[in-house]
Amino acid sequence: MSNWPRFRTAGDRCLVVELDNQISRAVSRRVRILSEKIRPLPGVTALVPTYRSVVVHYDPLEISHRDLVREIISRVSSRRPAGGSTHRTVEIPTCYGGELGPDLDFVARHHGLTAEQVISLHSGKLYHVYMLGFLPGFPYLGELHRRLITPRLKNPRSVVPAGSVGIGGSQTGIYPVDSPGGWRIIGRTPLKLYDPGKNPPVLLKAGDCVRFVEISEAEYRRLSGLPAGCAVPLFKVIQPGLLTTVQDLGRHGYQQFGIPPSGAADHYSFKLANLLVGNDENRACLEITAIGPRLEVLGDTVIAVTGADLGARLDEKPLPGWRSVPVKAGSVISFFGPGEGCRAYLAVAGGIEVPPVMESRSTFLRTGLGGYRGRALEAGDVLAAAGAGREVAGCGAQPREVPPNMLPSREKPRLLRVVPGPRDDYFSRKGMETFFSSEYSVSIDSDRTGLRLEGPNVEHLGPAEIISDGTVPGTVQVPGHGKPIILFVDSQTAGGYPEIGTIVSIDLPKVAQLMPGDAVRFVPVTVEQAQSLLLDEDRKIKRWIAALE
């Protein structure tokens, strides 16, 4: 009897359905067929087809892990015909070597080839697009010529320029935006692989064919940008703070294009901020990092500040957190620096009004997507609120406050509960014991994309690479250097380093509040325990909302 499919648990909101353990067009076709069979299931929020698996994002409040597995097994065994689809061949003009391809010479030396031979082998094949991931529109292409198979960098670069053409193991691909990355860069293309203003927002899709065409450096040029806008004035930015962005609960359902969910890093504090001012939980708010902004209030409204204690002030007087506060036109909201935690949330009755992009108002800074003009706030910016009349009238007279039993704990070191896997079998017993028994500290090289950790090295059982597969916020990868990296809300949707575990949903807000130097420890739990914790939190919030009404 076949051992496939295999089900791997990735936290309490994600399931990886493996159909094989190889890169082949036959497996790729099976993946796409299964994706179409799973898509209509209730509770499924997004699907990411990969080389050999389908990554299923789901809402455990609508369907349990056990029921989802049962439904998928029934669909795997059904024999619904595939349906035909035609795919294109897309030519990718590429300038190889030099400043645009800094690893070309290394790849040549590693294989005993000349740079010209590497270019000839790389551009001489017709590649199949197996999947999109890691970044919005990043295509994983096969099959790379066997003489070009090259290991990834042990320590990934902090920035790889948009358009870079790279080799990672037996794969080749193209970075659509500036990004960290561990592939060997051999060239760059001027083509724009990702444009959020288009539908679909990506140039390539799974099943397409790609041919690289060599061009000279003189032929290499041209890329463009994007705009946005606002409505009824509410705040004027006097000082922007360190990093202040517009966020909602995220951009879900686009992971198949390599677009991460983004959204509020601390979803718990974000939701409560909205509920305090009478909004539904997904209205856009300001996410404030470490050092907050100085804002002039342009119209009477109601606000709430939750999350980290960053010294919030209203007209130079302390502004209480975790409760609704009416404010008048002409007042000034300010923050006096980091206290406890990393990120605070400022909600306003009606929500911040910015144009939705792909059904979300979240800011994804790496690609200039969504939020306020795709960027962090700057001095002089004017923010608007969405038709706030009902909400202001509804919560200004009777202040709302979060009860003490619902405030997040600030234990140190932070304990992060982790569901082991989906690739815990890539680590030795000693490596697993090290991971779960050691204390790690957050590196200064951390942001919304991911948090690098300092501490004992985690031992791999074999190779420190996998066939690139789907990832989710909270995935803990361990590259070849042995140091864990927590992927976060702006991280890639696929990656090629083994995932030792996935932080449970209820603990992701703790990750959002970590500052450089903070200590963390990992605690193993089952997916059933993780989902039970999530259900308990959901019930607690619903009881509080009912008490307010």
> Does the pLDDT value for residue 391 go beyond 50?
no
From first CA to last CA, the distance across the chain in angstroms is 57
Please give the pLDDT value at position 1. 41
Burial (CB < 10 A; 0-12, 13-18, 19+), residue 24, is: middle
345, 379, 406 — which closes off a domain?
A: 406
> Does the pLDDT value for residue 229 go beyond 60?
no
Instruction: Tell me whether residue 83 is in a domain.
Output: no
Measured CA to CA, the distance from residue 407 to residue 321 in angstroms comes to: 11
Please give the pLDDT value at position 376. 97
Measuring CA to CA, which residue among 544, 216, 286, 497 is closest to residue 400? 544
Q: What average pLDDT does the structure give for the chain? A: 90
Q: Do 211 and 247 belong together in one domain?
A: no
Q: Do 254 and 353 belong together in one domain?
A: yes
Instruction: Tell me whether residue 169 is in a domain.
Output: yes
Q: Do 316 and 389 belong together in one domain?
A: yes
Measuring CA to CA, which residue among 92, 58, 233, 268 is closest to residue 166? 92
Please give the pLDDT value at position 83. 46
| Chain centre to alpha carbon of residue 512 | 13
Q: Do 116 and 265 belong together in one domain?
A: no
Please write the tens of the pLDDT for every residue from 393-403.
344 457 899 99
Instruction: Tell me whether residue 1 is in a domain.
Output: no
Measuring CA to CA, which residue among 403, 150, 132, 452 is closest to residue 276? 403
Please give the pLDDT value at position 394. 43
Please give the pLDDT value at position 393. 39
Q: Do 65 and 111 belong together in one domain?
A: no
Q: What are the structure tokens assigned to 115, written together?
A: 């740079």
Q: Do 439 and 522 belong together in one domain?
A: yes
Please write the tens of the pLDDT for every residue from 92-136.
999 999 889 999 999 999 999 999 999 999 999 999 999 888 778
Q: Do 379 and 261 belong together in one domain?
A: yes
> Does the pLDDT value for residue 223 go beyond 80?
no
Counting the structural domains of the chain, the total is 4
Q: What percent of the chain has pLDDT over 90?
A: 70
Q: Do 299 and 385 belong together in one domain?
A: yes
Domain membership of residue 154 as a residue range: 89-219
- pLDDT grade for 388, boundaries at 50, 70 and 90: very low
Please give the pLDDT value at position 2. 63
Q: Which residue has the higher pLDDT, 347 or 231?
A: 347
Instruction: Tell me whether residue 332 is in a domain.
Output: yes
Q: Do 332 and 287 belong together in one domain?
A: yes
Measured CA to CA, the distance from residue 25 to residue 35 in angstroms comes to: 15
Q: Do 377 and 474 belong together in one domain?
A: no
Please give the pLDDT value at position 121. 97
24, 53, 77 — which closes off a domain?
A: 77
> What mean pLDDT is predicted for residues 219-247?
72
The two counts, helices (H) then strands (E), for the chain are: 9, 34
> What mean pLDDT is predicted for residues 188-217?
89
Cβ–Cβ < 8 Å for 411, 257: no
Please give the pLDDT value at position 402. 96
- In this structure, the strands spanning 209-214 and 317-318 are unpaired
* 3-state helix, strand and coil shares in percent for the chain, rounded to the nearest 5: 20, 30, 45
Q: Which residue has the higher pLDDT, 300 or 84?
A: 300
Q: Do 30 and 124 belong together in one domain?
A: no
Q: Do 280 and 310 belong together in one domain?
A: yes
Contacts of 16 (CB under 8 A, 6+ apart): 7, 8, 9, 10, 53, 54, 55, 56, 422, 469, 470
Please give the pLDDT value at position 80. 58
> Does the pLDDT value for residue 186 go beyond 50?
yes
